[in-house]
Amino acid sequence: MAQKPEDIIRDEVRALTGYHVPDSAGMVKLDAMENPYRLPQDVRGQIAALVAHAEINRYPDAAATRLKTVLRATLNIPADTTVLLGNGSDEIIQMLMLATARPGAVVLGVEPSFVMFRLVATFCGMRYVGVPLQPDFSMDADAMIAAIEEHRPALVFIAYPNNPTGNLFEAVQIDRVLQAAPGMVVVDEAYHAFAGRTYMNRFGDYPNLLVMRTLSKSGLAGLRLGLLAGHSEWLRHVDKVRLPYNVSVLTQLVAEQVLQHQVLLDDQAATIKSERTRLHKELKRTPGIMPFPSDANFILFRTAAAERIFDGLKHRGILVKNLHGAHSALAGCLRVTVGTAEENDTFLDALRASLA
């Protein structure tokens, strides 16, 4: 007799609400922390030539040796670490959890933080423990240590800066977590380009440290490339759950080429940071809006009427992220990605009109 989905699909998967990506056709897209700038025409021409000659009839280099060499040089990855690549850092999160999902194994993080940590843990059959942040979104290191002692997590995730709050945690607090954690600690530096602070030079202090980066916030979200650096003691095992050709021929070629233009990427990040400062100032002087400080390429802000403002913005063609209802600490919160100067002005006008 044929079985029903409830007999076949795991309970924790049926109970999930999948990651929702809203339709953004025709909208000013300020919801997903993308870089608003395209590459200049000459670099796009270089990419076109590479793609024209790419051997897409062949599988990609499974070890992505050339790309890793370029990444090591441009991201200052220490020579004595191993690098693992993912189809976006989302896939790396999944690999780490697939490799550690023993029955009863725990993933620990702060709350609120990047939702994929909890989502992937759940569908990998792991238990996710979220330790609440302080009301100002700083880390409660004592609570983290207590939770680590109680739950002995296989994995700890710390987004640095954190999403959706935008702040960098104090390094002394992260150091305490690294010292206390029995398993791997992933410092997720997705927003490094806008923050400047890093754990990439701390592998000598912490054998259990892994540093994750992505090219998604640096103008290459469509390529899907993330990386994890750490000691081979851990990563040689995680690499076994990586599907062999997870980084495509085109991704490898294009990323290698674009990374040659580091100055260009740095200039774009600098422009985004100065727009962040301006946007924050404008939000702060807007009555009814309370922006939080940000070290990333987005700003979280609180308002008394988040749903109405979100709808008002949407109605005016602007898509931001509505976090009201996602977590009690995010009541009344919306998150806006820093766009071009023009997009930010359009957003500010629409916000003021929605508040009226």
User: What are the residues binding ligand PMP (CB under 6 A)?
Assistant: 33, 88-90, 114, 159, 163, 188, 190, 214, 216, 221, 226
For residue 104, the minimal CB distance to ligand PMP (Å) is: 25
User: Which pair of tokens denotes residue 313?
Assistant: 């913005």
Q: H or E segment at 289?
A: strand 289-291
Nearer to ligand PMP among residue 336 and residue 350 (C-beta): 336
User: Which pair of tokens denotes residue 209?
Assistant: 């440290």
Start-end of H helices in the chain:
5-8, 11-14, 41-53, 65-74, 89-100, 115-123, 141-151, 171-180, 192-195, 232-238, 249-259, 262-284, 306-315, 341-355
For residue 284, the minimal CB distance to ligand PMP (Å) is: 24
Q: Cα separation of 175 and 134, whole Å?
A: 18
The DSSP code for 197 is -
Q: Cα separation of 9 and 232, whole Å?
A: 35
Beta partners for residue 128, in sequence order: 107
For residue 161, the minimal CB distance to ligand PMP (Å) is: 8
Nearer to ligand PMP among residue 92 and residue 154 (C-beta): 92
Nearer to ligand PMP among residue 88 and residue 112 (C-beta): 88
For residue 188, the minimal CB distance to ligand PMP (Å) is: 5
For residue 315, the minimal CB distance to ligand PMP (Å) is: 25
Nearer to ligand PMP among residue 188 and residue 275 (C-beta): 188
Nearer to ligand PMP among residue 216 and residue 268 (C-beta): 216
For residue 7, the minimal CB distance to ligand PMP (Å) is: 33
Nearer to ligand PMP among residue 188 and residue 295 (C-beta): 188
**Type of residue found at 313:** L
Position of tokens 């994995």?
Answer: 155
Nearer to ligand PMP among residue 137 and residue 348 (C-beta): 137
User: Which pair of tokens denotes residue 63?
Assistant: 């070890």
- Spell out the residues 6+ positions from residue 182 whose beta carbon is closer than 8 angstroms to its own: 148, 152, 153
Pick the closest to residue 175 from 202, 193, 138, 196 (CA basis): 202
For residue 353, the minimal CB distance to ligand PMP (Å) is: 28
